[in-house]
Structure 1
Amino acid sequence: MEEFKKLNLRQKTIGFIVMLVTAIVMIVTFMSMTSADRVDSNEIELDDGWDVTINEKEYHNVTLSKFRFDMCNRGDVLVLKHVVPRYDNIKLPTLDIYTIHSAVKVYLDDEVIYMYGQKLYEEKKLLGYGQHFVSMPYGAVGKWLTIEMMVSEDNAFDGVGTVRILDGNSSLVKNLSGKRLTLSITMFLIVFGVIIMVLSMLMLKRSLNFIQTFCIAMFSFLIGCWTLCNKDLIEYFTTDLLMKSYLEYMSLYMLPLPFTYYFKDRIDEKDTPKWMKIYFYVLVAAEVIYILSALILQITNIVHLPQVLEGSHILMIFAIILILVISFIDMKVKKQKPSVVMVGFLIAIVIVIEELVRFNLDKYITGFEKNEYSSNLCFAVLIIVISLLVDYGNKISKTLFENAQRAVLEQMAYMDELTGLGNRRLCEKKLKELEVNAKTSDSRYAILSLDLNFLKHTNDTYGHEKGDELIRSFADVLTNVFGMYGSVMRTGGDEFVVILEDIAEEQVKKLLAQMLDELEEKNKTESEIKLSTAYGYAMSDETVLKQDFSEELKIKVVDINPRTIYRIADDRMYENKRKSKLGRQ
């Protein structure tokens, strides 16, 4: 019975998690379906006709989306100039500028209308990157627009994004245009990660197996945060470019750790080669050291987060190598079919490798399209999360089946076949449980010993079928009276035991009186067999013994335990039988 209770609790917990995740998926779907990109198309792209100066080197009639130059380093200064065109159909003209790790000044003719990051630049601190929305003052048409960028990091960028003039009322919506699905997936990854991380931490107290679930949840959360920044979706929540940079880089730098640690249980298997174990633990140590070092160097302003980006790429490559080796050993050496999670990881790894190659090629060789980098890592992680849910569902189904099967077998082992009551084995188990619980609990319990009279007489006179009927009929009475209050067991041919927990003696007496009444009612309807019993009971908190017990028994009762209580009840049953002059029939 206890197993069935535990099973039911697990089912409720799993059901809650499934409903929660289903609700999140429905919200994500709803967001992506209902968020149609209805945006005012009134905007002007200032892409052609720019005059650009890079460290006093001049370029004329430049098209920004196609313009490439040597990678900018700290101290470089870029100046972009363009005449402000007419924007008659734009109600609240706003300049949209995208910068990367640069302090920015925006001029109309010689008047400064916007500044960002000057103090941070002078203090040689990290500057964020992202979009700047600059309100255009009245009368800007026809004036010279000058954008000055002072680069704060090495290898910062080799191109400048297109400048736009758009309606400030819809600038944020316009910026999110075409990114609704990505935003939905990103928010799902973040919310899913947070919920499952919390649940996993709670369950870790019971089983370390949930460390894998925690790793996946953390990986999902970190990728969600990184994508939120990389896709400039964080502007939906905040325009703090510095916060965006910290969140993006730290999320990215922490990614390899949960990605690697997920496979710890596989590494700890006995048949895992020693070199793989060394490789794994060295890699995990390197990942932890890398994260702490990057954070300390940034806090102390010695080296900024963007300057150690390649380290995360290298660690991710080593993590991918480890996973590929594990997959190869499992499939080729152990002849095992890859799990759903492993398939998800392998698909994601292909996407990750493509991302790493494409990013470094674009940054150092070909240049980013439109001077922007667009990542698809959120889709890779979504694949991992889905594969995890499928794999977890398979494991839960298997566990539920095994637990149910075990519970049924255990119930059969503890069940009396004739009556369906518990048997002597269950009685022994209950007595042991009472003995254990007695050390931590003061709750009262009672043990009843009952002996069915006339069983031998019934077998000899009417046959064993009638004897079995007598036993079953008596068992029905005991179940009806005591079943709701405790455990009823048949420990022998005509011997029965009842254990009642958290009960007072007055209640025990009422139940015994009810039992006698039901026996009498049964006998009125039976012509051949008659139900009769001798019984005795004892309470767990008895301190004074009745005078009809021996001195030897009094001495033993000094050390009260469930078996002693059972013996007292049994002795009282025999005393009851002797006084009623009913010999065992």
Structure 2
Amino acid sequence: MRLRDYMHINVWLLPILLVLIPVILILFGSAFMTTPSTYYMTILNEGWSVKHGDFEVENAALKNLDIGTANTNDIVVISRLIPKEEVPSACLMFRSIQAAVTATIDGKVIYSYGDDYALRGELIPKHFNVIPLGDISEVGGKRITITFRVYEDNAFSGLSEVYYGNRNDVELAYIQKKRLPFFIGGFLTLFAFLLLTLSSYLYMYHGHDLSLIFSSIISFVLGAYNLAFNDIFCFISDNEVYFCLLEYVTLYSVPFAIITFLVSSHPELNTILNKTLIAINALFPIITLALHLFKVVHINNFVSTLHIIALSEAIMILPQLVLNVAKRYNEQKKSPEFTPRTSDSVLVLGLVIFIICSVVDIIKYNIFKFFVAGGEVSVDINFMTIGALCFVLCLFVFYFYHGIEHINSIYMKEHLEGLAYTDSLTGLMNRAKCMQYMASVQGNFALISLDMDNLKTVNDSLGHQEGDRMLSSFADILKQTFAGSALIGRTGGDEFLIAIENPVKGTCEKLIDDLRSRIKTFNQTEKSFNLSTSCGFAYSDEVSEKDANNVFVLADNRMYEEKESHHASKIDRFVNDIIGSSLHGKGGEADHA
């Protein structure tokens, strides 16, 4: 099946994927799949007293509260009465961002976190603060005060939701709320390892194409960043410092992974400008991580810089890619295998979706952090998450279509080479292919030179049609006898060449005996002509330097020696027949007399 027909049959998979996947994700992220609480769980949004510098408010809702941006040395204090509902293993759970936390009940400290990081000059990671309340009958109705001490500029804006209830119910509620990013992030991460395994195998055994490796890197950094940003790692692990760094390093590596993939998969993008961008993108996460580890500047301070770099590079790279795809599209329109749906068009579609979704989330992040009530804690990256999934799926479809195109190009190349190097009458390799093989063969090999007898006689007496059938019949026997040989070719009218690689001693002799046996069997049923051939062979170790031309000359000389022997034998038989007939005639006359 040709590429055009195959694409027409299978291209409907792409729009179905692009429609079906979002529908599934919407259902997956909806309340339809939410498990109800076993005991009791609620979000304490109302009734808080909040103070941040000169800002102070009573009986406020945290979700809609605009406290401004918290900077170094700022202190944010929130407090409210603890609910009186009797809940087994009751607790409060909330998230803190780059801030130390202290919780008190009626002035008594019951919980603290983060000051040890600040004393060491380290970045305080995001943290899920879980405050066990013990016996509700003793603390219910009392005032809990939570103090955030900020050690970073632009650390956070807005206050996290505070969950109250049974600890298992609280944790289950949070996991269910993050079900969609957890699913997509987990899928992208696992898919990355599958791609890495496949790409490593293909790189080692089938060439030096690095694009699939960079595809796995794209899938990993997008998946890992999605999980880290949504606090999945911090929620299930105590190693928050590592996963905090993972969040920023993966985020800072996204531009590098994407632009490197584009350059490796599209050689026309391999320009000095793009190589410079690759170098900048590669150094960015390395330098920021080094500055962080040496406590020069914390890694969180470079997010805005990344946004500027990423947007600038998207403006530079995307038009190049689109123009090159359009150029290739116009060139392919002239091909008989042209199809309007190509692997590049799928890739561009996925990249455009991802860039648009990422730009939306970047704009949303900065607006919420600096200008909107609720602040940074209200921000999600759902657009980028969906965009990342669509992009990775388009990468998968890209390789699917690209594989079809590659197979098709190989088929066309082999077909054209077949036309150029195949003898049209016999289907064997022609003289040009034989000469090409002779020029490239190395190692141990053997050549067999054959000359089919009586072709001219058959052409002259029975006609060229029978001569052509004689050649075709002989070629068919050669194909059967020497199946698996490196070369079976017709070098001239009635001359043939066989090449055998890595032969063992006696290989040529055995094959020639088999050839003569097959010819004998053929002649028993053929009524128009008889096949016969003269053969000569030589092994590469019989000549100095294993030169193919010298091996051929030796084999050809031996073939002509056999041909002369056959010719002399025919003359002897002809003379004997004449002499025998003469003697028989004279004897008959004498007897008769």
Q: TM-score range by the shorter chain?
A: 0.7 to 0.9
Kindly provide the amino acid, as one letter, of the partner of residue 489 in structure 2.
M
Greater displacement, 94-103 / 394-403: 394-403
Contact persistence 1:32–1:180 (CA under 8 A): no
Q: For residues 427-576 of structure 1, what are the structure 2 equivalents within 5 Å?
A: 427-434=434-441, 437-438=442-443, 444-542=444-542, 557-576=543-562
Q: Is the 8 A contact 2:540 2:551 kept in 1?
A: yes
Matched, 1:365 2:363: no
SS in 2 for 1:339: helix
> 5+ unaligned residues in a row in structure 1: which ranges?
1-17, 439-443, 543-556
Query: What is the Cα deviation at residue 383 of structure 1?
Result: 2.9
In structure 2, do the counterparts of structure 1 residues 560 and 332 end up closer, same or farther at CA, with 3 Å as the change threshold?
closer
1:92-491 map, 5 Å? 92-138=89-135, 139-197=138-196, 199-200=198-199, 210-235=209-234, 237-262=236-261, 264=263, 280=274, 283-323=277-317, 325-326=319-320, 339-368=345-374, 371-375=377-381, 376-434=383-441, 437-438=442-443, 444-491=444-491
Structure 2 counterpart of 1:552: none
Among 41, 60, 63, the alignment partner of 2:61 is 63
The separation in 2 between residues aligned to 1:499 and 1:487, in whole angstroms, is 5
The residue that corresponds to 2:3 in the other structure is none
Cα shift at 1:353: 2.6
Question: Secondary structure, in 3 states, of the residue corresponding to 1:149?
Answer: strand
Amino acid at match of 1:311: T
User: 1:367 deviation in Å?
Assistant: 2.9
Contact 1:97 1:133 (8 Å CA) reproduced: yes
Range that drifts further, 46-55 or 239-248: 46-55
**Letter of the 1:228 counterpart:** L
Separation (CA, whole Å) in 2 of partners of 1:485 and 1:137? 84
Q: Distance in 2 between matches of 1:334 and 1:521?
A: 56
| AA matched with 1:300 | F
Work out the CA distance in 1 between the residues paired with 2:440 and 2:318: 49
Paired residue secondary structure (1:255): helix
On the 8 A contact 2:365/2:376 being kept in 1, the answer is no
Match of 1:578 in 2: 564
Distance change (3 Å), C-alpha of 1:466 and 1:512: same
8 Å contact kept, 2:222–2:388 = yes
Distance 1:327 1:504 in 2: 55
Q: Is the Cα contact below 8 Å between 1:108 and 1:145 reproduced in 2?
A: yes
Higher helix proportion, which one? 2
Q: Counterparts of 1:145 and 1:536 in 2: how far apart (Å)?
A: 102
Distance 1:479 1:278, change over 3 A: closer
Secondary structure of 2:418 counterpart: helix
Q: Which amino acid aligns with 1:238?
A: S
Larger radius of gyration: 2
Instruction: Classify 1:288/1:458 alpha carbon distance in 2 versus 1 (closer, same or farther; 3 Å).
Output: closer
1:451-495 CA-to-partner distances (Å, cap 9, x unmatched) read 111222222222222222222222222222211344322222221
Scaled by the length of structure 1, the TM-score of the pair is 0.80
Question: Cα offset for 1:430?
Answer: 2.3
Deviation of residue 340 (structure 1)?
3.5
Q: 1:548 maps to what in 2?
A: none
Alpha carbons of structure 1 residues 329 and 30: separation in structure 2 relative to 1, 3 Å: closer
Q: Which moved more, 1:92-101 or 1:138-147?
A: 138-147
Instruction: Work out the CA distance in 2 between the residues paired with 1:571 and 1:142.
Output: 111
CA distance in 2, matches of 1:328, 1:461: 67
In 2: Cα distance, 1:332 partner to 1:519 partner = 59
- Take 1:208 and 1:481, find their aligned partners in 2: how far apart are those partners? 34
Question: SS of the residue aligned with 1:340?
Answer: helix
Query: CA 1:496–1:269 in structure 2 vs 1: closer, same or farther (change >3 Å)?
Result: closer
Q: Deviations over 1:362-407 (max 9, x none)?
A: 1111133694211121222223333334444443333322221110
What amino acid is the match of 1:176? I
**SS of residue in 1 equivalent to 2:131:** strand
Deviation of 1:128 after TM superposition, in Å, equals 0.9
8 Å CA contact 1:31, 1:184 repeated in 2: no
Q: 1:398 to 1:324 in 2, by over 3 A?
A: closer
- Partner of 1:177, secondary structure, is helix
Q: Is 1:445–1:504's contact at 8 Å kept on the other side of the alignment?
A: no
Q: Is the 8 A contact 2:73 2:150 kept in 1?
A: yes
Residue 85 of structure 1, aligned match among 83, 86, 95: 83
Letter in 2 for 1:518: R
Q: Quick check: 1:84–1:142 contact (8 Å CA) kept in 2?
A: yes
Distance in 2 (CA, whole Å) between partners of 1:241 and 1:300 is 19
Deviations 1:276-308 (A, max 9, x none): x77656655544454333222211212212222
Distance 1:51 1:396, change over 3 A: same
- Residue type matched to 1:562 in 2? A
Q: Deviations over 1:3-43 (max 9, x none)?
A: xxxxxxxxxxxxxxx9xxx9xx99x9799869932141621
Give the share of equivalent positions with the same residue, in percent. 26
**Preserved CA contact (<8 Å) 2:210 2:264:** no
User: 1:411 and 1:266 mapped to 2: Cα distance?
Assistant: 29
Change (3 A) 1:390 1:294: same
Give the drift of 1:183: 2.1
Aligned partners of 1:32 and 1:181 also within 8 Å: no
Q: Is the 8 A contact 1:538 1:569 kept in 2?
A: yes
1: CA distance, partners of 2:282 / 2:485: 56
Q: Distance in 1 between matches of 2:507 and 2:275?
A: 62
- In the superposition, the TM-score normalised over structure 2's length comes to 0.79
Deviations 1:44-68, CA, capped at 9 Å, x for gaps: 3322233344459764333322332
Q: How far off is 1:115 after superposition?
A: 2.7
CA distance in 1, matches of 2:522, 2:259: 70
* Aligned mates of 1:335, 1:459 — CA distance in 2: 52
- Deviation larger for 132-141 or 399-408: 132-141
Deviations 1:245-294 (A, max 9, x none): 21122222222333444555899859x9xxxx776566555444543332
Letter in 1 for 2:123: L
